[in-house]
C-alpha cells in the first residue's frame, strides 16, 4: 500500500519566508501598482498622509482667497473715499431753541460764549447769531450711504464743496451775519445736473463793518479756492455782488448788505413740493411715524424686504401713493450690491420682464416704479428700453431717482409716452439734521422757482424729525402735493 504522502496530488504550500513564491495568485491585468503607489511604498508614505496633505493644501488656498477678498474690499472702500474727497462737515442751521439737541455724536454744547462748539472737522455756527435767525449751510457730510449709491456727479460735488468753503470763510470774519438762500434751481452742463444758488448775506452793523467783512471774505475765499478747488474763480461784478464759477460754469451768486437792509423771501406761484420716502419694507414702526405726518406723501417699497406686503397695505390704506422701488445694477457692482430682485444691464428682455412681474406681485397696489441704485442700468440705453417695454401698458408712471447724471430713464420714458418724473433733491445723502434741513429748504426754493419739486428721503429718524420741525415753521407759498399731481415730463 502506498504511503499517504505518495497518494496526495497537491501539497499545501508553506508560508514563504523570503524565497520567491511559486504558487501565489497571479495579478489580474489593470491591478498593477502605478508609479505614485510605487514611490509611496518605496518612501513609506501612507494614503492617509497624502489625503491629509491634500486637505491642508485646499484649506490654505481657501484661506488665501479670503484674505485676498478682504484686501480687495478694503482697497475698494479706500478708492471710494478718495473719489468722495475729504470728509465733509455739518453745521447747525436752525435756532438754538429748535435744534439745540444735536444727534450727531461729534457735537457738544458750549455755554460759555453761547452757540455750539464742535469737534473738528465740524464748523461752528456764525458768531453772534441771535435766536430766531435761520442759517442755511451748504455743508454736506460724506458719510457712507446706506440706502443709495454715492452721487457720482463731480460738478454737484464741487458745488457742495464751495458751499462748505463759503461758510468757513464767513465764520472767519468775526462779524455776526445771517445767510439766506434766495434762489436754487437745477441747471445742466455737459450732461451733468447741478444746483445754481443765489445767496444774500447780511452782516450785522453799518456799511463800514460790512465792507470790512466783504474784503476779508474775498481774500479768504480766493486763497481757499486756489488750494482746494483750482478750477474755481471768484468774479466781483460790484462791491456787493459776486459770482463763483467752477470751470466755465457759474454756480453761485452772492449778494451782500448791511444788517439794516432786509431781504424778502422770494415770492412766486403756489409752489408744489412732493416728498417720496424710499427703501420701505423693514421698519414698520418708522413707517407709521411717516404716515402720521399730516401731508400727502409717496412711499417706495423694496420688493424683497421683510414686510413688503404689509407695508404696501399700510400705505394704500392710509391713502398715500405707493411705488415699487425696483433694484437695478449699480456702477460698482459687485462691490455695491443692489440686493435680491435686481435687474442687470446684460439681462435679456425675457429675464427683465420676468423679474419685474415677480417684484410687482410682491408689492400690490403700486402706482409707479422708481429705481433703487441702478447707476449702470439706467445709463444703458438698451437695458432702459427693455425695462420700459416690460412695464408699458400697465398704467404705471416711472420716476427716475437720478442715481447717475448719465441716466436715460426719464427721457426714454417720455419718448415712449410713459408718464415720467425725476428727482430734484436727495434729502438725506448726509444723515445729520442740518444737511437734511438745508436740502429741504433747497427743494422749497426749486419749487418756488419752477413751480414744483420732488425730494427723495429715507426712513431715518433724523429725516422724520426735520420734516416735523419744518412743517411747524414751513414757508408760505409751499403746498405739499401728491406725486401724480405734479406736472409730468418736466
What are the tens digits of pLDDT across the range 425-477? Answer: 899 887 788 888 888 888 887 887 778 899 999 999 999 999 999 888 765 67
Angstrom distance (rounded) from CA 170 to CA 444: 24
353 lies in the same domain as 205: no
Angstrom distance (rounded) from CA 379 to CA 142: 24
Length of the chain: 490
Residue 206 confidence class, pLDDT cut points 50, 70, 90: confident
Question: Is residue 57 situated within a structural domain?
Answer: no
Triad 184, 190, 191: Cα angle to 5° = 75
Is the pLDDT at 118 greater than 60, yes or no? Answer: no
Is the pLDDT at 408 greater than 90, yes or no? Answer: yes
Question: Is residue 13 situated within a structural domain?
Answer: no
Give the sign of the dihedral formed by CA 293, CA 296, CA 300, CA 305: positive
The more confidently predicted of residues 243 and 449 is 243
Is the pLDDT at 84 greater than 90, yes or no? Answer: no
Q: CB-based contacts of 232: which residues, under 8 Å, 6+ apart?
A: 158, 162, 225, 244, 245, 246
Q: How many CB atoms lie within 10 A of CB 280?
A: 27
Is the pLDDT at 331 greater than 80, yes or no? Answer: yes
Average pLDDT for the chain: 76
Question: Is residue 4 situated within a structural domain?
Answer: no
Q: CB-based contacts of 145: which residues, under 8 Å, 6+ apart?
A: 429
CATH (domain of 288): 3.20.20.370
CB 398 within 8 A of CB 409: yes
Compute, in degrees rounded to 10, the torsion defined by CA atoms 65, 69, 75, 78: -150
CB 470 within 8 A of CB 295: no
For residues 75-79, give the mean pLDDT: 57
Strand pairing report for 177-189 and 192-203: antiparallel
For residues 116-144, give the mean pLDDT: 31
For residues 404-410, give the mean pLDDT: 90
Residue 488 confidence class, pLDDT cut points 50, 70, 90: confident
Q: How many CB atoms lie within 10 A of CB 394?
A: 13
What φ, ψ does residue 422 adopt, rounded to 5°? -145, 150
356 lies in the same domain as 435: yes
Question: Is residue 3 situated within a structural domain?
Answer: no
What φ, ψ does residue 324 adopt, rounded to 5°? -90, 120
Q: Write down the pLDDT at residue 448.
A: 78
105 lies in the same domain as 193: yes
Angstrom distance (rounded) from CA 424 to CA 194: 10
Q: Write down the pLDDT at residue 48.
A: 76
For residues 200-212, give the mean pLDDT: 85
The more confidently predicted of residues 58 and 347 is 347
291 lies in the same domain as 164: no
207 lies in the same domain as 353: no
Across the beta sheet with 241-246, what order do the strands follow?
A: 177-189, 192-203, 249-258, 241-246, 232-238
Question: Is residue 58 situated within a structural domain?
Answer: no
Angstrom distance (rounded) from CA 145 to CA 460: 12
String of DSSP letters for 7-73? H-SSPPPPPPSSSPPSSSPPPPTT-S--HHHHHHHHHT--HHHHHHHHHHHHHHHHHHHHHHHHHHH
Of 196, 224, 258, which residue is a domain's last?
258
CB 362 within 8 A of CB 308: yes
Angstrom distance (rounded) from CA 92 to CA 101: 10
327 lies in the same domain as 410: yes
201 lies in the same domain as 293: no
250 lies in the same domain as 319: no
Question: Is residue 443 situated within a structural domain?
Answer: yes
Question: Is residue 33 situated within a structural domain?
Answer: no
Question: Is residue 62 situated within a structural domain?
Answer: no
159 lies in the same domain as 288: no
Assigned C-alpha cell, 88: 465733509
Angstrom distance (rounded) from CA 170 to CA 485: 40
Count structural domains, the chain: 2
Is the pLDDT at 340 greater than 50, yes or no? Answer: yes
List the domain range (segments joined by +) for residue 374. Answer: 271-485
132 lies in the same domain as 190: yes
The more confidently predicted of residues 33 and 490 is 33
Residue 95 confidence class, pLDDT cut points 50, 70, 90: very low
354 lies in the same domain as 319: yes
Question: What is the percent of the chain where pLDDT is above 70?
Answer: 70
Triad 373, 305, 395: Cα angle to 5° = 70
Is the pLDDT at 371 greater than 80, yes or no? Answer: yes
Give the sign of the dihedral formed by CA 103, CA 108, CA 111, CA 113: negative
Give the sign of the dihedral formed by CA 63, CA 65, CA 66, CA 70: positive
292 lies in the same domain as 368: yes
Strand pairing report for 321-328 and 192-203: unpaired
Amino acid at each position: 500500500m502506498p504511503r499517504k504522502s505518495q497518494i496526495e496530488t497537491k501539497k499545501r504550500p508553506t508560508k514563504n519566508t523570503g524565497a520567491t513564491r511559486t504558487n501565489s495568485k497571479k495579478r489580474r491585468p489593470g491591478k498593477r501598482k502605478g508609479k505614485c503607489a510605487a514611490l509611496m511604498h518605496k518612501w513609506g508614505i501612507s494614503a492617509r498622509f497624502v489625503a491629509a496633505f491634500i486637505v491642508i493644501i485646499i484649506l490654505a488656498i481657501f484661506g488665501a482667497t479670503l484674505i485676498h477678498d478682504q484686501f480687495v474690499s478694503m482697497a475698494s472702500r479706500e478708492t471710494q473715499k478718495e473719489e468722495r474727497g475729504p470728509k465733509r462737515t455739518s453745521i447747525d442751521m436752525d435756532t438754538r431753541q429748535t435744534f439745540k439737541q444735536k444727534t450727531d455724536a461729534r457735537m457738544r454744547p458750549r455755554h460759555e460764549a453761547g452757540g455750539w462748539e464742535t469737534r473738528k472737522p465740524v464748523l461752528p455756527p456764525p458768531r453772534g447769531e441771535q435766536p430766531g435767525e435761520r442759517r442755511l449751510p451748504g455743508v454736506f457730510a460724506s458719510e457712507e450711504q446706506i440706502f443709495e449709491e454715492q452721487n457720482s456727479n463731480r460738478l454737484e460735488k464741487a458745488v457742495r464743496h464751495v458751499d462748505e468753503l463759503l461758510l468757513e470763510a464767513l465764520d472767519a470774519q468775526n462779524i455776526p451775519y445771517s445767510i439766506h438762500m434766495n434762489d436754487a434751481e437745477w441747471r445742466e452742463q455737459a450732461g451733468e445736473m447741478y444746483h445754481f444758488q443765489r445767496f444774500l448775506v447780511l452782516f450785522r452793523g453799518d456799511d463800514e463793518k460790512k465792507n470790512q467783512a466783504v474784503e476779508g471774505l474775498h481774500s479768504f475765499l480766493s486763497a481757499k479756492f486756489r488750494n482746494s478747488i483750482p478750477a474755481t474763480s471768484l468774479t466781483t461784478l460790484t462791491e456787493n455782488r459776486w459770482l463763483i464759477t467752477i470751470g466755465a460754469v457759474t454756480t453761485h451768486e452772492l449778494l451782500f448788505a448791511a444788517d439794516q437792509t432786509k431781504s424778502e423771501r422770494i415770492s412766486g406761484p403756489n409752489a408744489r413740493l412732493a416728498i417720496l420716502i424710499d427703501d420701505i419694507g423693514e421698519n414698520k414702526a418708522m413707517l407709521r411715524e411717516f404716515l402720521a405726518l399730516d401731508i400727502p406723501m409717496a412711499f417706495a417699497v423694496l420688493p424683497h424686504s421683510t414686510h413688503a406686503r404689509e407695508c404696501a397695505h399700510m400705505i394704500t390704506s392710509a391713502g398715500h401713493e405707493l411705488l415699487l422701488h425696483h433694484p437695478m445694477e449699480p456702477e460698482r457692482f459687485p462691490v455695491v450690491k443692489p440686493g435680491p430682485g435686481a435687474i442687470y444691464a446684460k439681462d435679456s428682455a425675457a429675464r427683465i420682464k420676468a423679474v419685474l412681474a415677480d417684484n410687482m406681485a410682491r408689492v400690490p397696489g403700486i402706482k409707479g416704479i422708481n429705481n433703487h441704485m441702478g447707476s449702470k442700468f439706467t445709463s444703458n440705453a438698451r437695458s432702459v428700453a427693455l425695462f420700459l417695454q416690460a412695464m408699458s401698458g400697465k398704467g404705471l408712471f416711472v420716476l427716475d431717482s437720478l442715481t447717475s447724471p448719465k441716466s436715460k430713464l426719464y427721457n426714454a420714458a417720455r419718448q415712449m409716452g410713459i408718464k415720467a418724473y425725476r428727482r430734484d433733491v436727495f434729502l438725506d445723502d448726509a444723515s445729520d439734521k442740518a444737511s437734511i434741513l438745508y436740502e429741504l429748504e433747497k427743494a422749497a426754493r426749486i419749487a418756488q422757482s419752477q413751480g414744483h419739486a420732488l425730494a427723495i428721503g429715507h426712513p431715518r429718524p433724523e429725516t422724520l424729525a426735520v420734516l416735523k420741525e419744518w412743517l411747524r415753521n414751513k414757508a408760505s407759498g409751499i403746498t405739499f402735493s401728491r406725486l401724480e399731481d405734479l406736472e409730468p415730463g418736466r
